[in-house]
Amino acid sequence: MTHFHEVQPLRQQRLIVVILVVVAVIVLVSLLSTGASTLWGAVIALGSLFLVGALILAASLETTVDREAITVAFHFLWPKRRIRISEVRKAEATKYHPFLDYGGYGVRLGLRGWAFNVSGDEGVLVETNDGSRLMIGSQRPKELEAAIAKARQERRGA
């Protein structure tokens, strides 16, 4: 039984533009340095930009909580992360500073642990029995916190 499910598209338009510009510069520099200024080079450059752009636009953060685990997937950009409910020591809805605490949006390792976030400044900080921490960005942090609490309660009762 699923207690919580949320899909958040990557909405950071500025980030998307910056990434596309960086990719464009890298592709153009590599084309110029190899002397591949032919039509094929231009086709490869445009194709690369299109693929990277499509990948970024299709990316989304999906969070699911069921009786067994919290699953966080940053589709197309990062492997899925799964935390068993039995490993959760604490989960608390909180406000945070994406750039100061974790270095921005996306999948990040910051001073406060790992973060999976795509927008906003709210989420649930999950602390595991081994002391590791994961910030899960959410547009519905209180619901996510309650779903984790419910799953933990069910696990204790089983």
Q: Give me the domains of the chain, ranges plus CATH numbers.
A: 1-158 (2.30.29.30)
User: Is residue 127 very low, low, confident or very high in pLDDT (cuts 50, 70, 90)?
Assistant: very high
Confirm if 74 and 9 have CB atoms less than 8 A apart: no
Strand pairing category for 113-117 and 133-137: parallel
Which of 150, 158, 139 has the alpha carbon at shortest distance from 91? 150
Confirm if 107 and 113 have CB atoms less than 8 A apart: no
The pLDDT tens digits of the residues spanning 57-115 come to 777 899 999 999 999 998 877 889 999 999 999 999 999 999 899 988 889 998 889 99
